[in-house]
Amino acid sequence: MPLKWLLFWQPNAGTTVNTQVLGEITQCVESINTVKGGRWKNTLNYYRPNSRDQSTANLADYPRDLMGITLQEQPDKYYFIIHGQRIVVEADTMIPMIMEKLQSYRARVSINFEGYQYQLGDFQLRVGKMVTTTADSLKGIVMEMEYLPISSLDKSRHIMEEFLDMWQEIVSRRSMPGRFMHIEANFAEYGLPDNYTSHHSVVQYGAMMNHLLSTGRN
């Protein structure tokens, strides 16, 4: 499948993420002769073990950093990532319902990433907002930068870096209060190959969220 980089908006010190910034970013994307497509949406869930019917001893066997995610690119799949053990698991979309019935885990926080996608030559851009499902307040801005012809991480690095530099220059011309950042995920730690898969997308979302949480951005 095509390779992608996940970017997030890093506001300058003393500024915040808001809908005005999101609107200006969208204008930047539309100003470079992109073709606007349909909407896109990914949903991420943080789970915690359900302690109501489990002893303290049993709880120790349950991962406490379990994250689940649905990706629009794979609508019939549900993915889990356990950061502590560097594991990514692919499951059926029915698994959250099964977990709820078994009362093994419960969703603690749910976050939607949603917006519009744009085509620019061999690149597909997805710009979206990051919001919790319980409130519509803007938590962040993300962009998926996808290069359609290549799936190799190594072979695509140079062209992805060049495109990102070009995009940063476009944003800087508008004197916007921040810039897009790309977290280098360590795919090898998860045993992932050079050719890109949906598992790579899951690891990227996990790495981004860990960074935002560690810096107090979320």
Closest among 162, 166, 130, 119 to 2, alpha carbons compared: 119
What does the alpha-carbon distance between residue 180 and residue 200 come to, in Å, rounded to a whole number? 19
| Domains contained in the chain, CATH given | 3-214 (2.40.320)
pLDDT over threshold 60, residue 50: yes
55 pLDDT higher than 60: no
What is the C-alpha to C-alpha distance for residues 184 and 1, in angstroms, rounded to an integer? 19
Residue-level pLDDT at 56? 47
pLDDT at 58: 54
- Rounded to 5 degrees, φ, ψ at 196 are -70, 140
Band the pLDDT of 136: cuts 50, 70, 90.
Answer: confident
pLDDT at 129 over 90: yes
Q: What confidence tens digit (pLDDT) does each residue in 58-111 have?
A: 545 566 678 999 999 999 999 999 988 999 999 999 998 888 888 778 888 899
Give the pLDDT score at 51: 66
Q: How far is Cα 165 from Cα 149, in angstroms, rounded to an integer?
A: 19
Mean pLDDT computed over every residue of the chain: 90
Average pLDDT over residues 106-119: 93
Cβ 200 vs Cβ 192: under 8 Å: yes
Is residue 61 packed enough to be buried (19+ CB in 10 Å), middle (13-18) or exposed (0-12)? exposed
* Residue 61, pLDDT score: 58
Nearest to 34 by CA among 98, 120, 95, 117: 120
pLDDT in tens, 140-192: 999 999 999 999 999 999 999 999 999 999 999 988 999 999 999 999 999 99
**Count of C-beta atoms within a 10 Å radius of residue 137:** 10
39 by Cβ neighbours in 10 Å (0-12 / 13-18 / 19+) ranks as: exposed
C-beta separation of 40 from 142 below 8 A: no
Tell me, what's the pLDDT at 57? 44
